[in-house]
Amino acid sequence: MIVSKAEAQSSTDRQSAAIAVFAIICVLLSWATNSYERHLVEMYIPRRETVSGDFDELIEQFFWLCPVPILILFRRIVRITASYAVVFFGILVGRCYYLLKFFFVGVSALPWPFDWAVLFHSIFGRVSVAVFVFWVVIRLIFFLSDVLNGHSGADPNE
């Protein structure tokens, strides 16, 4: 059976998109389990001030969700989506481990101030912001070079 180049590319695009969807699901589940664990800890250890209203916490939540747009932007590049999928699957496994440890042992089982899964999720969130900024700068450079060269951007062959 002879496979054309278009069919092979289509198959690679579908595979990469499926990996990207898996990675996005891992990111969202990891974020949800971490938020749920924080909610349970707040129930066990009441505080006077609310943690959810803190601006630093809002910024951290933003960093935790930043890999989602990166995976959507680069869904056709298998190397990027596969590496994100492997990393975030490991983070999700770690989040589930610490959540189960919390359920079976209690608050004393949690490492303070954070565990390795939270640390890696935060690091990869910040890496995703850097990748996104780099992508925007590159796109802006190409756009400005097209504008300065007189291309309208509609047809590069003109």
Please write the tens of the pLDDT for every residue from 133-149. 999 999 999 989 888 88
According to DSSP, residue 155 is labeled: -
- Residue 131 — very low, low, confident or very high, per pLDDT cuts 50/70/90? very high
- The yes-or-no verdict on residue 157 having pLDDT over 50 is no
pLDDT over 70 percentage in the chain: 75
- Residue 27 — very low, low, confident or very high, per pLDDT cuts 50/70/90? confident
Strand ranges for the chain from DSSP E: none
Please give the Cα distance from 143 to 106 (Å, whole number): 54
pTM of the full predicted structure?
A: 0.72
